[in-house]
Structure 1
Amino acid sequence: MAATATARYAETLLRQNRSHAIESTFLDDFVDVTCDIDDAECAEKQYTKREELWRAWNKANDGVSKRTRGLVLFAFLMAGFGANITLIKIAQQDLSTDLFAALRFTAGSLVFAPFLKSALKDDRIVRGGFELGLWVSLGYYLQNLGVELTDAARASFISSFTIIAVPIIAGLSGRSVRSQTWIATAIAVAGLAMMEDLVSVPGLVDATTATAVADVVAGDAPASLRGDLYTLGSAFIFGVHIFRTDCIFNGVYLKHKESMGLVCIQMLTVVTVFFGLLARDYLNCDCDLGAILGVNSIAEIPWGLIGFVGVVTTAGCVYLETVALTLLASQEATLMYSTEPVWGALFAYMLLGETLSPSAAAGAGLILASTLVGSISSGGSGGGDEGAESPESPRADAR
Structure 2
Amino acid sequence: MRRDQLLGLLYLNLATLFWGSTFVLVKDSLQALGPGQINFVRFAIATLVFVPFLFRRDPGLWRAGLELGAVLFVAYLTQTVGLQYTTASRSAFITTLYVVALPLLLGVLGHRLGWPIWLAAGLAVGGVGLLSYDGSPPNLGDAWTLGTALSYAFYIWRLEHFAQRFPALPLTGIQMLMVTLLSLVWMLGEGPTWNPSNFPFLSLLYLGLVASALCIWLQALGQRLVPAPQAAVIFTLEPVYAAAFAYVLLGERLGWQGMLGAGLIIAATLISQLRSTKPHPEQVTPEM
User: What range is the shorter-chain TM-score in?
Assistant: 0.7 to 0.9
CA drift of 1:141 comes to: 1.7
Distance 1:380 1:276, change over 3 A: closer
Q: 269, 274, 280: which one pairs with 1:376? A: 274
Task: Kindly indicate whether the alpha-carbon contact (under 8 Å) linking 2:53 and 2:170 is maintained by their aligned counterparts in 1.
Answer: yes
Partner SS, residue 149 of structure 1:
coil
Query: Is 2:235 aligned against 1:337?
Result: yes
Q: Return 335-344 or 125-134, whichever deviates more.
A: 125-134
Structure 1 regions of 5+ residues with no counterpart? 1-17, 24-65, 198-204, 212-221, 283-291, 382-388, 390-399
Query: Is 2:97 aligned against 1:161?
Result: yes
CA drift of 1:313 comes to: 2.0
Q: 242, 245, 250: which one pairs with 1:352? A: 250
Partner SS, residue 293 of structure 1:
coil
Query: Is 2:189 aligned against 1:304?
Result: no
CA drift of 1:329 comes to: 6.9
Instruction: Give the equivalent residue in structure 2 for 1:262.
Output: 171
CA drift of 1:71 comes to: 5.7
Aligned length: 280
Query: Is 2:59 aligned against 1:123?
Result: yes
Instruction: Give the equivalent residue in structure 2 for 1:315.
Output: 213
| Aligned partner letter, 2:142 | D
CA drift of 1:272 comes to: 0.9
Return the TM-score normalized by structure 1.
0.63
Query: Is 2:25 aligned against 1:87?
Result: yes
Aligned-pair identity (%): 29
Instruction: Give the equivalent residue in structure 2 for 1:137.
Output: 73
**For 1:27-59, what per-residue CA distance to the aligned partner results, in whole angstroms no more than 9, with x for missing partners?**
xxxxxxxxxxxxxxxxxxxxxxxxxxxxxxxxx
CA drift of 1:85 comes to: 1.5
**For 1:223-259, what per-residue CA distance to the aligned partner results, in whole angstroms no more than 9, with x for missing partners?**
x532111101111011122334457x49x632x2xx3
Partner SS, residue 376 of structure 1:
coil
Q: Return 347-356 or 106-115, whichever deviates more.
A: 106-115
Q: Return 163-172 or 174-183, whichever deviates more.
A: 174-183
CA RMSD of aligned residues (A): 2.9
Tell me the distance in 2 between the aligned counterparts of 1:294 and 1:326.
40
Task: Kindly indicate whether the alpha-carbon contact (under 8 Å) linking 1:331 and 1:379 is maintained by their aligned counterparts in 2.
Answer: no
Instruction: Give the equivalent residue in structure 1 for 2:183.
Output: 274
Tell me the distance in 2 between the aligned counterparts of 1:186 and 1:94.
38
| Aligned partner letter, 1:375 | Q
Query: Is 2:207 aligned against 1:293?
Result: no
Distance 1:125 1:76, change over 3 A: closer
Distance 1:193 1:380, change over 3 A: closer
Task: Kindly indicate whether the alpha-carbon contact (under 8 Å) linking 2:74 and 2:148 is maintained by their aligned counterparts in 1.
Answer: yes
Instruction: Give the equivalent residue in structure 2 for 1:242.
Output: 156
Task: Kindly indicate whether the alpha-carbon contact (under 8 Å) linking 1:157 and 1:341 is maintained by their aligned counterparts in 2.
Answer: yes
Return the TM-score normalized by structure 2.
0.85
Task: Kindly indicate whether the alpha-carbon contact (under 8 Å) linking 1:19 and 1:326 is maintained by their aligned counterparts in 2.
Answer: no
Task: Kindly indicate whether the alpha-carbon contact (under 8 Å) linking 2:81 and 2:141 is maintained by their aligned counterparts in 1.
Answer: yes
Tell me the distance in 2 between the aligned counterparts of 1:143 and 1:380.
24
Task: Kindly indicate whether the alpha-carbon contact (under 8 Å) linking 1:96 and 1:293 is maintained by their aligned counterparts in 2.
Answer: yes
Partner SS, residue 158 of structure 1:
helix
Kindly report which structure 2 residues correspond to 1:63-212, keeping only aligned pairs within 5 A, or say none: 67=6, 74-118=12-56, 121-197=57-133
Query: Is 2:272 aligned against 1:363?
Result: no
Task: Kindly indicate whether the alpha-carbon contact (under 8 Å) linking 2:36 and 2:190 is maintained by their aligned counterparts in 1.
Answer: no
Distance 1:320 1:281, change over 3 A: closer
Structure 2 regions of 5+ residues with no counterpart? none
Distance 1:167 1:158, change over 3 A: same
Tell me the distance in 1 between the aligned counterparts of 2:77 and 2:211.
18
